[in-house]
A and B are shown apart, each in its own frame.
Chain A
Amino acid sequence: MLDILFYIFAAITLISGLMMVLSPNAVTGAICMIVCFINTAALFVLLEAFFLAILQILVYAGAVMVIFIFIIMLLDADEDSHSYLRDKMSVAGTIVGFALLVVLIFSAFVSSGALPETALQAVAENPSGEGQGIPFTTSAKSFGYSLFTKYMLPFQVTGFLLLASMIGVIVVSKRQEEAK
């Protein structure tokens, strides 16, 4: 049952991602992107990362894509029916993309350092994580424990980064207002 769900969600994720890239209308692309994010959240649920699935829907499919659609409608930035895959640069870009795909698949599955086929292990029970590493749990408590013990410095740096980006957005938006 879960295998069928994985194939369905993976197929919808890939198809909607491809539709986002290929759709000439930016708003249609944004809607396809939301579908792609929600299906990635479903794949996170299949991997038992429930907290990240909720975070993915809240932050990506909610906040980020709403900002994207808002900006697309504000700028009225619909693409004129410019046919890509026509000029030489687009053909070269497509070739580079497929070369990247070939390199990724070769390095991950074909070459000598290929990934071993591992089975899914049972979820550990202690969320505080005694032992050498922090074991995988489904509870959000292990997130908080890890963030405030092992990843304390990155957590604070991330908070500072959010502050810096907020000030940066205000500065970038305001200076243009004064220049007009």
Chain B
Amino acid sequence: MTVGLNAFILVAALLFAIGMVGVILRKNTLVIYMSLELMLNAINLALVAFSRYNNTMDGNLFVFFIITVAAAEVAVGLAIVVALYRRRQTVMVDQLNALSR
């Protein structure tokens, strides 16, 4: 494969920026969580690309740990979203403004 490291890093940067825009732009808490997962995914892609082009194994192991932590984070975060929905009957962040009233 003649595709260089820079192409992978460019894809990872674009994916990270897309996830960032999603976190800022969207109002649904679940979609914000999915955008966070997209940002973690972009970091995974960058780490695997660096690991492969540096010819060491460490980046792959970082990705292994990141996938584990992301799975734990999703479980806890979605439990919190479900608890929030039971309490407030909404998951839209623009209606969860109890502190500003």
Count of interface residues, chain A, beta-carbon cutoff 8 Å: 87
Q: In this assembly, does B96 line the interface, its C-beta being within 8 Å of a C-beta of chain A?
A: no
Interfacial chain B residues near A101, Cβ < 8 Å: 13-14, 17
Most B-side CB within 10 Å, residue of A59, A119, A129, A172: A172
Interfacial chain A residues near B92, Cβ < 8 Å: 79
- Quick check: B52 and A49 within 8 Å, CB to CB? yes
Within the assembled complex, what's the spacing in Å between the Cα atoms of A113 and B21? Answer: 26
Residue of B nearest to A119 (CB): B4
Within the assembled complex, what's the spacing in Å between the Cα atoms of A118 and B55? Answer: 11
Count of interface residues, chain B, beta-carbon cutoff 8 Å: 73
Interfacial chain B residues near A21, Cβ < 8 Å: 18-19, 21-22, 25-26, 31, 35, 38
Within the assembled complex, what's the spacing in Å between the Cα atoms of A67 and B30? Answer: 11
- Quick check: A97 and B61 within 8 Å, CB to CB? no
Within the assembled complex, what's the spacing in Å between the Cα atoms of A67 and B72? Answer: 12
Say how far B49's CB is from chain A's closest CB, in angstroms: 6
Within the assembled complex, what's the spacing in Å between the Cα atoms of A32 and B29? Answer: 17
Interfacial chain B residues near A37, Cβ < 8 Å: 41
- Quick check: B10 and A20 within 8 Å, CB to CB? no
Interfacial chain A residues near B63, Cβ < 8 Å: 49, 52
- Quick check: A136 and B55 within 8 Å, CB to CB? yes
Say how far A130's CB is from chain B's closest CB, in angstroms: 13
- Quick check: B41 and A36 within 8 Å, CB to CB? yes
Residue of B nearest to A19 (CB): B18
Given contacts A77-B28, A77-B30, A79-B28, contact A142 B57 (CB under 8 A): yes
- Quick check: A30 and B72 within 8 Å, CB to CB? no
Within the assembled complex, what's the spacing in Å between the Cα atoms of A140 and B18? Answer: 32
- Quick check: B30 and A68 within 8 Å, CB to CB? yes
Given contacts A71-B82, A77-B85, contact A117 B30 (CB under 8 A): no
Within the assembled complex, what's the spacing in Å between the Cα atoms of A98 and B20? Answer: 9
Within the assembled complex, what's the spacing in Å between the Cα atoms of A33 and B37? Answer: 9
Residue of B nearest to A162 (CB): B72
7 contacts between A and B (CB under 8 A): A17-B18, A56-B67, A67-B74, A72-B30, A137-B57, A143-B60, A173-B83
